[in-house]
């Protein structure tokens, strides 16, 4: 497995692969890799010829300094997992290569407007500007590719599809299913920061989604069901919504059909999120 940190070497590596007629699969990550990332690497391996993974903790997508400092960093384990999953090239760019003015703000920002201001964007101002800006830069360096993202960050996936559409990146975005522990907890790099009791309470998120998926009722009833489960299980609710899976606009009680339920909340001060398919029946 090739390990690179230089942006120009990374750009040339990807372009050399395309020159050989190979499809580049690209998996952007912030490290602290787990089985969810492994599933992205395996999907990339299956659906492209050569897999590039990036490891970069992007400070621009953190709205709180303490959250950035607490974010787990496990570089040696990350390289071992990437190797085990057959990744061909791991790129770990430096902070100053990615954001030359850091810690001063970077003047150029990619922003998706309203889509990035709801849900995670409302709770973490500037978060999606940070995600959209870094992903735009990662795509610019990697060049034409097929890029793999987890559905666990459902709004992030919508934001990335939007920048690809609006800025005409030659990138095919592939959404991959959420990977869960046996008890249903969606895998997240943040789970390691939970206490044992907190981890049990965190199951409230997947339980809320399961409860909503069981009832085909108007959207407001499904919202209420999710709130009740989250609160009963000790999750401090950030939001519990039923949305259109493409626009992420909240569903009204007049609507019927397949939708996406999004939940987020705090456990042990850690922000957790999850989502799943639901079906609503208009009243």
Q: So which residues are the catalytic ones?
A: 37
Closest approach of Cβ 248 to ligand PAF, in Å? 16
From CA 95, how far away is CA 224, in angstroms rounded? Answer: 43
Considering the complex, what minimum distance in angstroms separates the CB of residue 263 from ligand PAF? 18
**Which residues ranging from 107 to 126 are in contact with ligand PAF (CB under 6 A)?**
none
Residue 214, number of CB atoms within 10 A of its CB? 12
CA 59-62-63 angle, 5° bins: 130
Residue 17 C-beta: closest distance to ligand PAF, Å: 21
* Residue 134 or 176 with smaller CB distance to ligand PAF: 134
Q: Which range of residues in 28-36, 139-147, 170-178, 192-200 is near ligand PAF by CB under 6 A?
A: 28-36
Which of residues 120, 129, 153, 274 is near ligand PAF by CB under 6 A? 153
Nearest residue (CB) to ligand PAF, 48 versus 189: 189
Between strands 270-280 and 257-267, the pairing is: antiparallel
- Name the residue among 236, 262, 19 with its Cα closest to residue 157: 262
Which CB atom, from 131 or from 202, has the smaller least distance to ligand PAF? 131
Q: How far is the CB of 50 from ligand PAF (least distance, A)?
A: 19
Scan residues 29-58 and list those touching ligand PAF (CB under 6 A). 29-30, 58
Sheet with 2-4: strands ordered across:
2-4, 89-91, 50-55, 24-29, 145-150, 171-176
- Contact segment (CB under 6 A) with ligand PAF among 27-35, 69-77, 167-175, 274-282 equals 27-35
Nearer to ligand PAF, 29 or 142 (CB): 29
Range in contact with ligand PAF (rule: CB under 6 A) among 12-20, 25-33, 196-204, 221-229: 25-33
Q: Which residues here bind ligand PAF, judged by CB under 6 A?
A: 28-30, 58, 61, 131, 134-135, 153, 156
């Amino acid at each position: 497995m090739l390990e690179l940190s230089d942006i120009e070497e990374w750009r040339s590596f990807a372009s050399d692969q395309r020159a050989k007629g190979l499809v580049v699969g690209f998996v952007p990550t912030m490290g602290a890799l787990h089985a969810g990332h492994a599933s992205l690497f395996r999907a990339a391996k299956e659906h492209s010829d050569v897999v590039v993974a990036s490891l970069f903790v992007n400070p621009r997508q953190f709205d709180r300094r303490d959250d950035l400092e607490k974010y787990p960093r496990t570089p040696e384990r990350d390289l071992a997992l990437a190797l085990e999953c057959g990744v061909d090239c791991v790129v770990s760019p430096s902070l100053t290569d990615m954001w030359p003015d850091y810690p001063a703000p970077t003047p150029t920002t990619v922003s998706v407007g309203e889509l990035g201001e709801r849900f995670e964007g409302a709770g973490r101002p500037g978060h999606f500007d940070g995600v959209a800006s870094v992903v735009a830069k990662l795509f610019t360096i990697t060049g034409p590719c097929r890029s793999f993202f987890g559905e666990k960050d459902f709004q992030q996936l919508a934001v990335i599809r939007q920048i690809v559409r609006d800025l005409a990146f030659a990138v095919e975005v592939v959404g991959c299913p959420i990977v869960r522990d046996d008890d249903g907890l969606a895998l997240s790099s943040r789970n390691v920061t939970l206490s044992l009791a907190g981890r049990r309470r965190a199951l409230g998120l997947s339980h809320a989604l399961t409860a909503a998926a069981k009832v085909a009722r108007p959207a407001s009833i499904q919202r209420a069901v999710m709130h009740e489960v989250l609160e009963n299980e000790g999750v401090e609710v950030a939001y519990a919504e039923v949305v259109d899976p493409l626009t992420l606009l909240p569903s009204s009680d007049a609507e019927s059909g397949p939708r996406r339920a999004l939940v987020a909340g705090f456990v042990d001060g850690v922000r957790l999120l999850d989502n799943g398919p639901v079906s609503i029946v208009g009243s």
